[in-house]
């Protein structure tokens, strides 16, 4: 009887693991490789990378929300929470950073990527960065790439050289998400980008899933910038991820293991974003991983940083020819040195917050804005102000 119970428990645990595919990027690349007969990059490519100590790169993002029902049409707030998670994780500002075991603390990296929603659409008009598209498709098959094709109910990627395209949709089966890698850009520009199931995009505190804190995107963006899984080759070749500061780990780690866990004669860095643990239990990239990503950005994806329609780098964006805007910081009314003109206010993610016509009283009521930094855009340029 006890034996039977064990078998049932074992089968159940296998089944529950089988229900989730934390990441399908490796499988996706196999499909691409077989289908189109091209050579994927060498996994164990380990070389010296250029790592500027004060890296600070803007990455413009367009989020395509493909929805067939209201539930799939996730809120703006969910999307903003995802941008915030990415920005925290890629700048070592995540709350878990102090809990990383001492032996790994010296290799924690501040990658220095700033993600923002694009400010302009393909015609150069002001845009929220969130492209909502209704689809007849109730869900999408993972590797068929239908979500990336308008003729199959998806949406074609925006200029892949200038934008990081993220498709958010209902994925069939067990997959949370998958990404292309940099060398796919040359073989399949029409597929370049990241796909994430709508349930796992952004922070959803009402969800009971252990993948509700936006780390699926953190992980997939790692692939997009050429990172491999830390467990890629088990115990050989530093784990096959081209990084010797991520200890080799024999298998992917699921759940939320306590420290230390040992395999391949060293303690596993289970809290690395490129392992498979729960969202709450992954918390760091290493210096080598940061080097790989920056190298990928500067080698394959340079147009992303050349792209000027990202407003997170607030100071670069702000005009030098001044008009008078005061007081700054402001509490309720902003005085603006213009009359009979339109002004637009963006938040630091490039999201349009306000669009108003200013009459001859030069005053704009900003009392409803929450505290923070904003960009005000008028004919003469862009200006930064702080709302208190
Ligand atoms: Zn992965
Ligand atoms: Ca490694």
Name the average pLDDT for the chain.
84
Inter-residue contact 68 to 135 (CB < 8 Å): yes
Per-residue pLDDT band at 118 (split at 50, 70, 90): confident
Q: Which is more confidently placed, 196 or 342?
A: 196
Ligand nearest to the CA of 292: 2
Q: Which is more confidently placed, 323 or 95?
A: 95
Give the range among 7-16, 47-56, 173-182, 279-288 with minimum mean pLDDT: 7-16
> How many CA atoms lie less than 13 Å away from 260 in the CB half-sphere?
13
Beta bridge partners of 168: 65, 196
Per-residue pLDDT band at 343 (split at 50, 70, 90): confident
Q: Which is more confidently placed, 228 or 312?
A: 228
Structure-token match 């899984």, residue found: 229
Per-residue pLDDT band at 12 (split at 50, 70, 90): very low
Measured in whole angstroms, the distance separating CA 348 from the mean position of its chain's CA atoms is: 16
Q: Rounded to the nearest whole angstrom, what is the distance from the C-alpha of residue 217 to the centroid of ligand 1?
A: 10
Q: Is 145 left (phi over 0), alpha (psi -120 to 50) or beta?
A: left
Beta bridge partners of 159: none
Residue 330 reports pLDDT greater than 80: yes
> How confident is the model at residue 293, as a pLDDT?
93
Per-residue pLDDT band at 319 (split at 50, 70, 90): low
Q: Rounded to the nearest whole angstrom, what is the distance from the C-alpha of residue 305 to the centroid of ligand 2?
A: 28
Q: Rounded to the nearest whole angstrom, what is the distance from the C-alpha of residue 271 to the centroid of ligand 1?
A: 14
Q: Rounded to the nearest whole angstrom, what is the distance from the C-alpha of residue 46 to the centroid of ligand 2?
A: 10
Ligand nearest to the CA of 179: 1
Give the range among 14-23, 49-58, 229-238 with minimum mean pLDDT: 49-58
Structure-token match 């994430």, residue found: 196
Q: Which is more confidently placed, 251 or 305?
A: 251
Here the tokens at position 132 are 């909502």
Q: Rounded to the nearest whole angstrom, what is the distance from the C-alpha of residue 159 to the centroid of ligand 2?
A: 33
CATH 2.60.40.3580 fits 314-387, yes or no: yes
Q: Which of 84, 199, 220, 228 is catalytic?
A: 220
Ligand nearest to the CA of 222: 1
- The closest alpha carbon to 42, from 232, 218, 231, 179, belongs to 232
> How confident is the model at residue 340, as a pLDDT?
77
Q: Rounded to the nearest whole angstrom, what is the distance from the C-alpha of residue 14 to the centroid of ligand 2?
A: 27
Q: Rounded to the nearest whole angstrom, what is the distance from the C-alpha of residue 269 to the centroid of ligand 2?
A: 9
> How confident is the model at residue 37, as a pLDDT?
54
Whether 152 is catalytic is no
> How confident is the model at residue 229, as a pLDDT?
97
> How confident is the model at residue 357, as a pLDDT?
84
* Stretch 268-293: mean pLDDT: 96
Q: Rounded to the nearest whole angstrom, what is the distance from the C-alpha of residue 376 to the centroid of ligand 1?
A: 39
Q: In 10 A of CB 109, how many CB atoms? A: 21
Residue 143 reports pLDDT greater than 80: yes
Structure-token match 């669009």, residue found: 355
> How confident is the model at residue 8, as a pLDDT?
44
Ligand nearest to the CA of 250: 2
Inter-residue contact 89 to 81 (CB < 8 Å): no
Ligand nearest to the CA of 23: 1
Q: Rounded to the nearest whole angstrom, what is the distance from the C-alpha of residue 296 to the centroid of ligand 1?
A: 17
Cα torsion 42, 44, 50, 52: sign: positive
Inter-residue contact 113 to 120 (CB < 8 Å): no
Residue 350 reports pLDDT greater than 80: no
DSSP 289: H
* Stretch 278-303: mean pLDDT: 92
Per-residue pLDDT band at 88 (split at 50, 70, 90): very high
Residues 186-235 pLDDT 10s? 888 999 999 999 999 999 999 999 999 999 999 999 999 999 999 999 99
CA distance 299 to 293: 10
> How confident is the model at residue 35, as a pLDDT?
66
Domain spanning 19-306 has what CATH number? 3.40.390.10
CA distance 72 to 89: 25
Q: Rounded to the nearest whole angstrom, what is the distance from the C-alpha of residue 315 to the centroid of ligand 1?
A: 34
> How confident is the model at residue 358, as a pLDDT?
82
Beta bridge partners of 63: 130, 166
* Stretch 330-358: mean pLDDT: 79
Q: Rounded to the nearest whole angstrom, what is the distance from the C-alpha of residue 238 to the centroid of ligand 2?
A: 4
Structure-token match 């080799």, residue found: 248
> How confident is the model at residue 56, as a pLDDT?
76
For the chain, the structural domain boundaries read 19-306, 314-387
Residue 283 reports pLDDT greater than 50: yes
Give the range among 147-151, 161-165, 349-353 with minimum mean pLDDT: 349-353
What are the backbone angles phi and psi of residue 142, rounded to the nearest 5°?
-45, -70
Give the range among 59-73, 119-133, 269-283 with minimum mean pLDDT: 119-133
> How confident is the model at residue 380, as a pLDDT?
64
Ligand nearest to the CA of 44: 2
């Amino acid at each position: 009887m006890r034996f039977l119970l064990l078998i049932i428990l074992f089968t159940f645990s296998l089944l529950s693991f089988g229900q989730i595919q934390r990441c399908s990027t490796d499988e996706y690349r196999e499909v691409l490789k077989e289908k189109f007969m091209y050579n994927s990059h060498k996994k164990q490519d380990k070389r010296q990378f250029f790592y500027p100590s004060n890296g600070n790169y803007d990455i413009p993002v367009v989020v395509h929300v493909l929805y067939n029902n209201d539930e799939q049409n996730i809120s703006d707030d969910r999307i903003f929470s995802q941008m915030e998670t990415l920005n925290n994780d890629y700048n070592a500002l995540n709350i878990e950073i102090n809990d990383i075991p001492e032996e790994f603390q010296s290799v924690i990296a501040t990658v220095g990527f700033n993600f923002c929603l694009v400010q302009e659409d393909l015609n150069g008009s002001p845009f929220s960065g969130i492209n909502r598209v209704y689809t007849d498709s109730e869900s999408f098959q993972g590797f068929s790439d239908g979500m990336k094709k308008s003729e199959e109910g998806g949406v074609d990627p925006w200029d892949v050289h200038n934008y990081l395209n993220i498709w958010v949709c209902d994925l069939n089966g067990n997959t949370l998400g998958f990404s292309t890698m940099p060398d796919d850009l040359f073989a399949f520009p029409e597929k370049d980008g990241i796909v994430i199931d709508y349930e796992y995009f952004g922070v959803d505190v009402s969800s009971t899933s252990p993948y509700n804190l936006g780390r699926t995107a953190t992980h997939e963006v790692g692939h997009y910038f050429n990172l491999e899984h830390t467990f890629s080759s088990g115990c050989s070749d530093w784990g096959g991820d081209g990084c010797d500061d991520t200890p080799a780990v024999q298998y992917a780690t699921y759940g939320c293991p306590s420290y230390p866990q040992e395999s391949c004669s060293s303690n596993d860095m289970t809290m690395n974003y490129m392992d498979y643990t729960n969202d709450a239990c992954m918390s760091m990239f290493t210096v080598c991983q940061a080097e790989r990503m920056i190298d990928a950005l500067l080698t394959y994806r340079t147009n992303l940083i050349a792209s000027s329609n990202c407003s997170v780098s607030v100071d670069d964006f702000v005009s030098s020819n001044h008009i008078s805007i005061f007081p700054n910081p402001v509490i309720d009314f902003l005085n603006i040195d213009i009359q009979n003109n339109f002004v637009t206010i963006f938040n630091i993610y490039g999201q349009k917050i306000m669009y108003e016509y200013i009459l001859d009283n030069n005053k704009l009521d900003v009392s409803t804005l929450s505290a923070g930094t904003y960009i005000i855009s008028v004919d003469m340029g862009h200006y930064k102000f702080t709302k208190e």
